[in-house]
Structure 1
Amino acid sequence: MTDSPCTRSDGDPRELPGFRRTYAPGRLTLGLGFPLRTGADGDEICDADAQAQVAQAAEAGGFAALYARDIPLRVPSFGDVGQVYDPWVFLTYMAAHTSRIALGTAGIVLPVRHPLHVAKSAASLDRLSGGRFLLGLASGDRPEEFRAFGLEQGGRGERFRENVRVLTHAMTTEMRGIRWSAGWMHSADVVPKPSASSVPTIMIGSCQQSVAYLAAHGDGWMTYPRDFDAQRRTVVRWREMVAAAGATGDDGDDGEVFKPFAQSLQIDLADDPDETASPINFGFRIGRRRLVDHLEDLRGIGVNHVQLGLGACRRPVREVIDELAEHVVPRFPSLD
């Protein structure tokens, strides 16, 4: 690690506090997605101060991480305003109001953003949060956004790969030029540099790439919930691709390179702790005891982290978080 914001470090990003709090071989931890609100909460819960207070409750309750989405434009046809505040500004605000919990993006829509701006913002948030930042990257899925930025949605996979190359170069080198289809950086540099060799990078969704690409270029992968057997096969495929990529990092118990596998899960936490799961979009309505059973099953197939979404809950968010913190998180605590 390095103390100078203008000097490149050789440190392992997976040794930074945010990564270490969230991911470890054979373990499963829990995160929450912003906005921290449910259908039972009033509009005042969207206030930044109110969100900071809920974030502090999540940190005190032992959750490993909090995630902000990157939604540049409000698109009513999607039925989800999502993240209202700019994720870089919002997470910096949250970093100032918390001290231990990891803060991630899930994920920055890289094809519509300039990679040099992303490099500067990610390294800045890494530095200002004390190494708690997890850089989630995505390829985006809202056609209106691509049109607004003058881009073809069909080319987002290729643009994602190119921007990853430029982003990685900007974070991991000093005063070395690079040329790409949209620009040329010469006799210039992006600062600050991350506090390690790069910012921990989590690939979100498919990113319009192969699993092999995600394993080679990311420090982890967060995907979507699937049928249990399908998710088991996806975890196995991920582990195979991580091993084939020959990445470096902490070893798992079996001696293989460890890069975490994570997934999202929407829940509607029932009043009855024994209520069995019934499907909702991307998740379940479920009681807390059955949720614990489900999470233990996911841990058993190799899932390392689950980002819970609470938007579908019918109870106030503080009530839900308090119940999870008391009865669920202790079975899957953060790692610090």
Structure 2
Amino acid sequence: MHPRFQRLLGRNNFSVGLELPLDNDWSSDGQRLRQAEGRPFGVPDLKQHATLARLADQAGFRALWVRDVPVYDPNFGDAAQVFETFSYLGYLAGITQNIMLATAAVVLPLRQPWLTLKAANSIDELSDGRLLLGVASGDRPMEYPLFGVDYAQRAELFRDAVELLHSQGQDRLPEGAHLLPQRPEAAPLLVAGLGQQSPAWIGAHMDGWLAYPGTPDEHRRRVALWREVGGDKPYISFVHLDLAADPHAPMQRLRFGGRCGRLALIEELQALREAGVQHVGLHLRRSERPVAEAIEEIAEFVLPRFHHAN
């Protein structure tokens, strides 16, 4: 296991983070505000993004997960956190101190691999080694012709970029040349999906897996498959959460997650841990309550159950 995961997972080998954007634009109030401001569906309100990122850091969440959505596509209806991934991570590195900064996931075939390596090393340097680099092959065909990239070659481009990120390009640079900044170790690579590769290749070349959201039973089956190819490398996933004000509210399953009170959330996280999930990124865009309020309640009542001994 990459040593950086010890910082993410702690001694309990389980932790909780947050997926950006920290907005509730998919809630009923969020939808009304979005329509009043003329924002398309899936474009969040980012006026409080810096305040909420600092709050997450101070509250003890272990990671902020940033998605890579180069172009807003109304057919998908999700602009993620709007800002360009590496630019935003550089900003977050400057306003946070402890929280890991993670991508879920950078679309490698759409990016020039040497510049991806330089950007990743820059973020890692600026954040004092807090980068977790999630990568993927992409799932939006509209972007490939726009970027001048052959969609049919994405598997090969993905493999080449992974090799460069792992090796830091040391065997490919001209004599005497250096790609700066140089890092003492490459950031761990996690893959979302399979990157158009075989499971065996993914298990051998990646440091962890970013799994699609699911129920504990679904994750139990997926974890077993991951252990066959990835051994003890981390298994990470996400939950879309609408945290009810009533702490006793039972779990009501929704797409990619659920609506529940904090007691049911604790039960759900415990079930995910028992299923083999090692880190959960909470996604709060469905939250009917203010995002800051949900973050503070989770920090006070939920995180101590899982982070207290870490």
Deviations 1:15-49 (A, max 9, x none): 34xx33212575220111111111345679503xx
Deviations 1:208-229 (A, max 9, x none): 2233222211211111123433
Q: What secondary structure sits across from 1:46 in the alignment?
A: coil
Partner Cα separation in structure 2 for residue 334 and residue 87 of structure 1: 31
> For the structure 1 residues 279 and 29, does the alpha-carbon distance in structure 2 shift closer, same or farther, using more than 3 Å as the test?
same
Note if contact 2:17-2:61 (Cα within 8 Å) is conserved in structure 1.
yes
Aligned AA (2:304): P
Q: TM-score, normalised by structure 1?
A: 0.81
1:200 aligns with 2:188: yes
Instruction: Identify the match of residue 13 of structure 2 among 27, 33, 39.
Output: 27
Query: Please, which moves more after superposition, 65-74 or 149-158?
Result: 149-158
Partner Cα separation in structure 2 for residue 202 and residue 329 of structure 1: 24
Partner Cα separation in structure 2 for residue 158 and residue 139 of structure 1: 10
Runs of 5+ unmatched residues, structure 1: 1-11, 178-184, 244-257
Note if contact 1:224-1:265 (Cα within 8 Å) is conserved in structure 2.
no
> For the structure 1 residues 211 and 332, does the alpha-carbon distance in structure 2 shift closer, same or farther, using more than 3 Å as the test?
farther
The equivalent of 1:313 in structure 2 is 287
- Tell me the C-alpha RMSD between the 2 structures: 2.2
For residues 199-218 of structure 1, the aligned pairs below 5 Å read 199-218=187-206
The equivalent of 1:240 in structure 2 is 228
Instruction: Identify the match of residue 69 of structure 2 among 46, 61, 71.
Output: 71
Query: Please, which moves more after superposition, 151-160 or 312-321?
Result: 151-160
Percentage of identical aligned residues: 40
Q: What secondary structure sits across from 1:83 in the alignment?
A: coil
Structure 1 segments of 4+ aligned residues over 6 angstroms from their partners: none
Note if contact 1:22-1:335 (Cα within 8 Å) is conserved in structure 2.
no
Aligned AA (2:143): E
Aligned residues: 295
Aligned AA (1:231): H
The equivalent of 2:90 in structure 1 is 92
Note if contact 1:267-1:284 (Cα within 8 Å) is conserved in structure 2.
yes
Aligned AA (1:33): E
Partner Cα separation in structure 2 for residue 25 and residue 328 of structure 1: 17
Note if contact 1:21-1:335 (Cα within 8 Å) is conserved in structure 2.
no
Deviations 1:171-200 (A, max 9, x none): 162xx32xxxxxxx544442222232x111
Q: What is the CA-CA distance between 1:162 and the residue it aligns to?
A: 2.1
Note if contact 1:69-1:87 (Cα within 8 Å) is conserved in structure 2.
yes
Note if contact 1:63-1:334 (Cα within 8 Å) is conserved in structure 2.
no
Partner Cα separation in structure 2 for residue 21 and residue 165 of structure 1: 25
Aligned AA (1:20): Q
For residues 132-211 of structure 1, the aligned pairs below 5 Å read 132-169=130-167, 171=168, 173=170, 176-177=171-172, 186-187=174-175, 188-196=177-185, 198-211=186-199
Partner Cα separation in structure 1 for residue 11 and residue 222 of structure 2: 17
1:332 aligns with 2:269: no
Aligned AA (1:99): Q
Partner Cα separation in structure 2 for residue 154 and residue 264 of structure 1: 29
Higher relative contact order (CA 8 A, sep 6+): 1
Q: TM-score, normalised by structure 2?
A: 0.88
Note if contact 2:243-2:261 (Cα within 8 Å) is conserved in structure 1.
yes
Q: What is the CA-CA distance between 1:268 and the residue it aligns to?
A: 1.3
Partner Cα separation in structure 1 for residue 304 and residue 209 of structure 2: 24
Deviations 1:29-70 (A, max 9, x none): 0111111111345679503xx312111111121110001111
Query: Please, which moves more after superposition, 152-161 or 62-71?
Result: 152-161
The equivalent of 2:256 in structure 1 is 282
